[in-house]
Amino acid sequence: MSDRRARVEGAVARLAELLARTAAGVEKKRAFTCAGCDAHCCKVGRNGMLVTRLEAEAIVARLREDPALRPRVAELARRVSDTVRRHGLRAADATGAQTYTCPFLDEHNRCAIHGRGQPLGCITFMPMRGGGCDQHVPEFETALDAMARLNDEVYGPNGWRPMLIPVAVERALAAEVRDSRPGSRSRTGRSSRRRRPGSSRSSSCTRSRRRRSRSRRR
């Protein structure tokens, strides 16, 4: 294992603890369940979710380590790449303006990576009192700052930027293969202005006035 891969895996473990605490806090404030929902927020037209490099690495780790998902790694990797091509997704999209159907949404409108590996923006986008779904900003903001510091530790302040989930995961899968090669060396990403990762989702079931999510950073 390369030094870089060891640093990434250590940071992913710390990120998992952070996201688990956040999920536990948010779950107590959930107004109702997502059972029976047709997952508007995860589909093209509404879903512009952005994630950090470490969140993408956490998704890849979940695919590799979960006994239920491990046999499907090749299939899900193809779905990720197909999503990038089908929707013409670009790494340069820093706003979540491009939308897509999440490749981890299954045929029953359930998230294949729900729980461990699920991004912060997804965890904190939840059913709210008042009849609809929105970003739960307090928990999102608190966890976001800690997550940004973790990314800075691993990649440097200018070595990462949030990307659309399929783009970020496709890159994380490629990095994993690259790092497994003998003599692999760490690569630093190009400097860029960062925006907040997270959700640019909207939900058609919202009956109250929707607050625009403050969830973009690059």
3-state secondary structure of 145: helix
Report the range of poorest mean pLDDT among 75-89, 181-195, 196-210: 196-210
3-state secondary structure of 126: strand
> Which band of pLDDT confidence, cut at 50, 70 and 90, is reported for residue 33?
confident
- Per the structure, the complete domain to which residue 144 belongs is given by 3-217
Residue ranges in 98-218 assigned as alpha helix (H): 120-123, 137-155, 165-179
Contact 92, 201 (CB under 8 A): no
CA distance 58 to 29: 25
Which tokens sit at 21? Answer: 């605490």
CA distance 47 to 104: 13
Q: What is the mean pLDDT of the chain?
A: 82
- On the question of pLDDT at 185 being above 60, the answer is no
Share of the chain above pLDDT 90, in %: 53
CA distance 53 to 75: 22
3-state secondary structure of 128: strand
- Burial code (b: 16+ CB inside 10 Å, e: under 16) for 38-62 equals ebbbbbeebbbbbbbbbbbbbbbbb
Dihedral of alpha carbons 61, 63, 55, 13, sign: negative
The tens digit of pLDDT for each residue in 131-180 reads: 678 787 888 999 999 999 999 999 999 999 999 999 999 999 998 878 76
3-state secondary structure of 195: strand
Residue 195, beta-bridge partner list: 217
Angle between helices 53-65 and 3-27 (to 10 degrees): 90
What is the count of structural domains for the chain? Answer: 1
Contact 29, 39 (CB under 8 A): no
The tens digit of pLDDT for each residue in 36-93 reads: 788 888 999 999 999 999 999 999 999 999 999 999 999 999 999 999 999 999 988 8
